[in-house]
């Protein structure tokens, strides 16, 4: 019974995750149109703030907040999957674990996961990606917000804004595998968001394959 409840919860979180990404794209489009309208009304406006442009800061905060929501939703997906793993693999079904505790058990000895094949899958995914995701989420929750880099160009003929929020070095450092896939070039927050979702789906598939073997 609990496994089916968790399955529904995972589905909901995955739906929420994709929806947050769509909100991210809408916010980006809205920000471009917002800046374009301001520029049309007063082309000199953006040169009037030598100590930092409040309009740019507003846009960066709005986009960053939605990106943070994507990170939180991703973490929640892996927590639900962790409980699912525990219901299937642990002897005491009443003591399920969040992902960080599950990973600790998989790294450890003399517990329910010691002699299970899924142990290798959990530790590999934790060390390569999921653990980094939780570290980044913890930084956002308990330390401070990440400061991403505002970058925008405007076409002089029609004042169209091409807005790019570049992912911070802190974010890129936490998600180093993205540089294995894309070693060169700047990484926008939009691209990092889509990469995080795609990478998570691949890792979830690996977990489900490993669970099938345990079942």
List 188's β-bridge partners, or say none.
166
Orientation of helix 54-89 relative to helix 2-41, angle to 10°: 170
Helices (H), the chain: 2-41, 54-89, 99-107, 118-125, 131-142, 169-174, 177-181, 189-214
Residue pointed to by tokens 């169209």: 160
Q: Say whether pTM exceeds 0.85.
A: yes
Q: What are the tokens at 108?
A: 């450890």
* pLDDT digits 0-9 by tens, 139-189: 998 888 888 887 766 554 555 777 788 899 999 999 999 999 899 889 999
**What pLDDT, on a 0 to 100 scale, did the predictor assign at position 187?**
93
**What pLDDT, on a 0 to 100 scale, did the predictor assign at position 1?**
80
Q: Sign of dihedral through CA atoms 195, 162, 19, 140?
A: positive
Low-confidence ranges of the chain (pLDDT < 50): 156
């Amino acid at each position: 019974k609990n496994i089916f409840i968790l399955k529904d919860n995972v589905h909901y979180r995955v739906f929420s995750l994709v929806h947050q990404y769509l909100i991210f794209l809408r916010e980006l489009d809205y920000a471009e149109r917002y800046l374009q309208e301001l520029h049309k009304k007063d082309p000199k406006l953006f040169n009037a703030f030598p100590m930092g442009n409040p309009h740019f800061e507003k846009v960066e905060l709005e986009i960053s907040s939605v990106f943070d929501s994507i990170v939180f939703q991703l973490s929640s997906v892996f927590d639900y999957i962790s409980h699912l793993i525990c219901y299937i693999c642990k002897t005491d079904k009443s003591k399920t674990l969040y992902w960080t505790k599950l990973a600790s058990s998989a790294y450890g000895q003399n517990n329910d996961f010691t002699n299970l094949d899924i142990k290798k899958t959990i530790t590999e995914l934790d060390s390569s990606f999921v653990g980094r995701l939780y570290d980044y989420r913890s930084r956002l929750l308990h330390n401070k917000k990440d400061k991403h880099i505002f970058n925008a160009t405007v076409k002089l003929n029609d004042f169209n804004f091409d807005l790019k929020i570049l992912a911070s070095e802190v974010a890129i450092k936490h998600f180093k595998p993205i540089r294995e896939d894309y070693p060169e070039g700047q990484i926008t927050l939009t691209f990092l968001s889509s990469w995080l979702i795609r990478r998570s789906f691949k890792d979830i598939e690996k977990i489900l394959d490993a669970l099938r073997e345990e079942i």
